């Protein structure tokens, strides 16, 4: 599907649901559904959705890390490794 073919009106979804689900599942591409000429929802296969969620989670972690650096909420690497080693030792001793 080209980008233009990836945009469908809601009436297409209503009238061709099985075909749309088959095509999206087979090709792994998202389809934008429009209503009154305005983009409203995106239909995508489960694998693509899972990859998208994983990518968003990773980006969220990166953003949180950047915010921590900007706010000065960091420790030197040596201290972080020492803390981790101590936590591992405590957990192993429990």
Percent of the chain exceeding pLDDT 70 equals 95
52 and 89 belong to one structural domain = yes
Domain that holds residue 74: 48-93
Question: Could you tell me the sign of the dihedral formed by the alpha carbons of 40, 6, 45, 25, in that order?
Answer: positive
34 and 61 belong to one structural domain = no
35 and 54 belong to one structural domain = no
Question: How many Cβ atoms are within 10 Å of 52's Cβ, its own excluded?
Answer: 13
Determine the distance from the C-alpha atom of residue 20 to the mean position of all C-alpha atoms in its chain, rounded to a whole number.
22
Total domains in the fold of the chain: 2
pTM confidence score: 0.66
CB neighbour class for 24 (10 Å; exposed up to 12, middle 13-18, buried from 19): buried
Average pLDDT, the chain: 93
Measured CA to CA in angstroms, residue 7 lies from 18, 47, 93 at distances of: 16, 20, 58
Q: How confident is the model at residue 18 (pLDDT cuts 50, 70, 90)?
A: very high
């Amino acid at each position: 599907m080209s980008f233009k073919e990836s945009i469908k009106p809601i009436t297409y979804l209503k009238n061709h649901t099985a075909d749309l689900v088959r095509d999206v599942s087979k090709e792994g591409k998202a389809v934008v559904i429009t209503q009154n000429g305005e983009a409203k929802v995106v239909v995508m296969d489960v694998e693509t959705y899972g990859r998208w969620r994983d990518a968003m989670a990773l980006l969220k972690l990166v953003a949180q890390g950047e915010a921590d650096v900007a706010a000065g909420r960091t420790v030197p690497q040596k201290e972080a490794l020492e803390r981790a080693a101590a936590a591992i030792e405590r957990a192993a001793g429990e």
